[in-house]
Structure 1
């Protein structure tokens, strides 16, 4: 009886080893190609494009806020701009929570830069430590957004819209 117990115990101990020695299956993770920058002002295409960029740059962020604008020729553009500005200013004035990503992007880089700059005008110095700000736009608008964001203590990140 001792012998059969030992054989069963030995079998139980060697089965996991044998299973581990079997050829491991490899699973390839294929990342989808980046979404191309829309050549029109179609809101759905821009939403897909901006969402893709944010997804690729989210990193370890625990919460994400995306501030977008429609095309300048859309109905109620100024109203939409004002609503986004009020939301962004309120979020920034409250101060940042570490691990938050604030992303800005739209078909009109200059107007998006205006939105980002205006939203950080009243930010307290150092109030956004641990927060990342992602600006998706043109190189021409990069410096002024960075200059507006940095005093808040947020980490600035730029992705050229292309």
Structure 2
């Protein structure tokens, strides 16, 4: 009789823990959804840190349908000085390598920077050798201007990627 009572007590405690954990997860999701920060578009000439913060906020606002909670974010620096050109070249190498290796379905690649055309050009260059259908179920987010939207969308169409566009504003 004591063993049966003890078993019932342990089962009841375990069930209470499971139910309390479920409530906590739902509460955590609600808190995360409420804390998505809205960040204003940085003015021209702002430091890269402000642009990266803006890009991260826009990415968080566009995570619907993405299974992975860790998007690959690529900041594309603007400017014509030597450092910016080297940084863009390095970023193109990084993205091209990721494209060549492939990205698992359910992930997101996000691109943005202060110069929409420069960001669009990097995406086009990085995906030029991507195979047809090689990005099926992978989301690619381009944060840029409407003027560059269509050319990026068209270039990515053959890869099978789920394309998302967020206008810089």
TM-score by length of 2: 0.74
RMSD of equivalent CA atoms: 2.1
Quick check: 1:111 aligned with 2:118? yes
Matching of residue 83 in structure 1 with residue 90 in structure 2: yes
Match of residue 166 from structure 2: 159
**Equivalences for residues 138-149 of structure 1 within 5 A:** 138-149=145-156
* 1:97 corresponds to 2:104: yes
Between structure 1 and structure 2, the one with the greater Rg is 1
- Structure 2, unmatched stretches of 5+, are 1-15, 17-26
Tell me which stretches of 4 or more aligned residues in structure 1 moved more than 3 Å.
27-33
Counterpart check, 1:129 vs 2:133: no
Residue-pair matches, total: 138
Cα shift at 1:58: 2.0
Structure (1/2) with the larger helix percentage: 2
Q: Does 1:43 align with 2:56?
A: no
Alignment of 1:25-36 (within 5 A): 30-31=34-35, 34-36=38-40
Unaligned runs of 5+ in 1: 1-15, 17-26
Give the structure-1-normalised TM-score.
Answer: 0.77
SS at structure 2 position matched to 1:152: coil
